[in-house]
Structure 1
């Protein structure tokens, strides 16, 4: 555990998003429990036609869009988010994110419940 640390996003490894069925979607873990934090801050990048399909998990999350625009399907609703918009999604609420720009970037802050598993749902995001 550290008292603090300083880094740069460009120094953080970019991995593919681990939700089954994701396409052109990448994640970087910036602040984690390994740093002594009770929450995680992650940066997502979705390239053109990028998608994180409908899924659920036990952690809560707040998504803050910093570049581009997207559709967020949450529960049975569809929202259009753009740079500066954010959404809170509680635990066990189904959701998906679809990039609608050349490149979508957003930060996602989550808590750490005992179960961090992700369940991909066999449901399409309503693209109205």
Structure 2
């Protein structure tokens, strides 16, 4: 646990997104419980044709788009998000994110729930 943390996004390891079926999608964990936080701040980068398929999880999340544009399927609706847009997604609400440009970047803030599993759904984000 730390009293504070100063860093740069470029210094944080980039991993593939662990959601089954994800394509050209990468994640960086910036602030985590290992730092003493009760929440996590993550940065996602989706390259051209990048996708995080339909899935659910118990934790809540807020997605804030900082670069590019995307389609977000949430519940039974579809939204187009661009730089500066954000969306809150409650726990156990199905959702997917599809990059609709060259490169998409967004920050995602989540809480820590007692179950951090991600369940991929056999559904497409078609609308």
* Structure 2 unaligned residues grouped into runs of 5+: none
Q: How many residues align?
A: 127
Root-mean-square deviation (CA, aligned residues, Å) is 0.4
Instruction: Verify: 1:28 aligned to 2:21, yes or no.
Output: no
Per-residue deviation, 1:2: 0.8
1:12-91 correspondence to structure 2 within 5 Å: 12-91=12-91
Shift of 1:18: 0.2
| Aligned mates of 2:124, 2:49 — CA distance in 1 | 15
* TM-score normalised per structure 2: 0.99
**1:71 positional shift:** 0.2
Map Cα deviations across residues 14-73 of structure 1 (whole Å, 9 max, x no partner).
Answer: 000000000000000000000000000000000000000000000000000000000000
Question: How many Å separate the matches in 1 of 2:35 and 2:5?
Answer: 8
2:24 and 2:5 mapped to 1: Cα distance? Answer: 30
What stretches of structure 1 of length at least 5 have no aligned partner? Answer: none
Alpha-carbon distance between aligned partners in 2 of 1:17 and 1:96, rounded to the nearest angstrom: 13
